[in-house]
Amino acid sequence: MAYKRSVYQQAKEALDQRRAQAERLGQQRRAEIAAQCPAILETEREMAACGAELIKVACRGEQVEQKIAALSQRNLDAQKQRAKLLQDMGYAPDYLDNVYTCPICKDTGTHGNYYCTCYLDLIRQTAKENIKGAAQLKKCTFETFSLRYYSDTPDPALGRSHREIMRRISDYLQSYADTFSLQSKSLLMMGKTGLGKTHLSLAVVNRVIDRGFNVYYDSAQGILDRLEKDHFDRNNRDDALQEDLYRSDLLVIDDLGTEMATSFTVSALYRLVNERMNDGLPTIFSTNLTAQELEAKYSQRLMSRILGTCDLLQFYGRDVRQQKACE
């Protein structure tokens, strides 16, 4: 369980950029101030000299405490002098301090022997930005999933209201995401269009990424296009394909059944699903089609593999998107 290597690299680059930007701004400010008041640079040289001296003193063994106290005082005096000069010129007293995004680690990403929380946040954020439809991912969380679009009138055929069923599904998926592991089951979300399957899939994706897993999400069309391109365009092999589709901790295939089925896509999809299932890796499918329609479109072999392995979640209600449009 870990994000893709490229995610860590991208996050590290973003961190380096933050630090470089803070240091660039610091240099600009220093040049601006030096032009007006060279004495301020003297105070900075004094601060740097004290710092260097402190390191030397700490390594020697005589009267270390007194020497450290004296140097600390000199450093403090230089800081006060610098602040005063800056204020006299109408600047903020900390104008020459580098403005780091994270003052705790100064945008280095480490704090003591630990990774700083800013760096861990950046890694998670980068993993989410790499998800297809990242803007939609941001909006679709469990917190933004509303049950008010589902009727609370009991459905006689089901013995309970659609709202109650959807509440259970949402609760189940929250618990699924919160306890997700490589041993988690695969899921099949079924139901007509506009009932919240994509929203809740993305809510799961959000949480599972937050918990440090490598997740790949796309429509069935997008995934099959990628498989097809890799297969037929031999000169441009897709190096990340295995890692994303076959080896990701969680693969989410949205809107299964809406894509064009060809003999290639039918067998490519079977190969992908079968391999992940053999390896015990969880996959979430969502579809607007019924099991019979899927079977007619693909093959009985694929459908029996999916139905035999997945927990089935049947969505009910009226098209939420239409209801929202009418509000």
Residues found near Zn ion in the complex (CB under 5 A):
102, 104-105, 116, 118
- Nearest approach in angstroms of CB 25 to Zn ion is 17
- Nearest approach in angstroms of CB 17 to Zn ion is 14
CA geometry: angle 148, 176, 323, nearest 5 deg? 20
Instruction: Return the number of the residue (104 or 312) whose C-beta is nearest Zn ion.
Output: 104
Instruction: Return the number of the residue (100 or 180) whose C-beta is nearest Zn ion.
Output: 100
Instruction: Return the number of the residue (102 or 310) whose C-beta is nearest Zn ion.
Output: 102
Instruction: Return the number of the residue (116 or 256) whose C-beta is nearest Zn ion.
Output: 116
Give, in order, the Cα–Cα distances in Å from 137 to each of 7, 22, 176, 194: 17, 30, 18, 16
- Nearest approach in angstroms of CB 22 to Zn ion is 12
- 175 C-beta neighbours (distance < 10 Å), count: 10
Instruction: Return the number of the residue (112 or 159) whose C-beta is nearest Zn ion.
Output: 112
- Nearest approach in angstroms of CB 104 to Zn ion is 5
- Nearest approach in angstroms of CB 121 to Zn ion is 9
Q: Which 8-state DSSP code applies to residue 242?
A: I
Instruction: Write the CB contacts of 91 (distance below 8 Å, at least 6 apart in sequence).
Output: 33
- 179 C-beta neighbours (distance < 10 Å), count: 10
User: Do the beta carbons of residue 174 and residue 142 sit within 8 Å?
Assistant: yes
Q: Distance (Å, rounded) from C-alpha 212 to C-alpha 279?
A: 20
The CA-based diameter of the chain, rounded to the nearest angstrom, is: 88
